[in-house]
Amino acid sequence: MNKTTFIPRLQRERDRFELILNQVGFSRQMTIKGVSGNLSIKDILADILTREQFIADRLNEILHSEDYSPCTSHSALENFQKNFGYPDYESPLLEKESRNHIVTYKHKNIGVDDIVEQELAAYENIISTLEKLTQNQCLDHDLFHRIAEHTYKPYRRIIHDIRLWFKSIATESN
């Protein structure tokens, strides 16, 4: 893979993600629980925001030749969360079930518009930093895979969840 093929792929996946969000529409629909388990679209967007911020920060570290290694102790994992405000998503110690709880709690009093604004800024940061990195930096740090894990793979899961939610709403109204 190279940047000239990866960036357009990422942007196509992003377009698909934004298209489904536009179909959701109104802010109040963004806060209805049950889209994915007990999560609302707002909760899911907060999760996307923190994942994108996580990878955007790692890209900036690579750009500035700073080192990152996933947390290998629970105390390091807690300190990472305190320092950055989001989980170390690449730590093998992070429990998948606790991810949404941590992120949802942190963003519960933040409005949908603010989350969307922050999420768009994080995504733009990913693109702009990726464009500055060399092909060798991308390959040396497995960035195409890592970026996909924190952007378009979650987008795909969310698109699937929202489509199922739309179907359940349609079924309930019949």
Residue 126's Cβ-count burial label (10 Å; 0-12, 13-18, 19+) is buried
Contact (Cβ atoms closer than 8 angstroms) between residue 112 and residue 45: yes
Q: Closest by alpha carbon to 59, among 162, 121, 147?
A: 147
Count CB-CB contacts under 10 A for residue 143. 22
Helix axes 3-24, 143-150, angle to 10 degrees: 0
Query: pLDDT means per 10 residues in the chain (174 residues)?
Result: 95 95 77 87 92 97 94 93 92 74 81 92 98 96 96 94 87 70
Q: Give residue 173's pLDDT.
A: 66
Q: Give residue 11's pLDDT.
A: 97
Q: Give residue 29's pLDDT.
A: 80
Angle ∠(169,157,166) on CA atoms, nearest 5: 10
DSSP letters spanning 125-139: HHHHHHHHS-HHHHH
Cα separations (Å) of 78 from 87, 118, 164? 8, 23, 34
Expressed in angstroms, the distance from the first to the final Cα of the chain is 47
CA pair distance 107, 118, nearest whole angstrom: 11
Q: Give residue 31's pLDDT.
A: 87
| DSSP letter, residue 35 | S
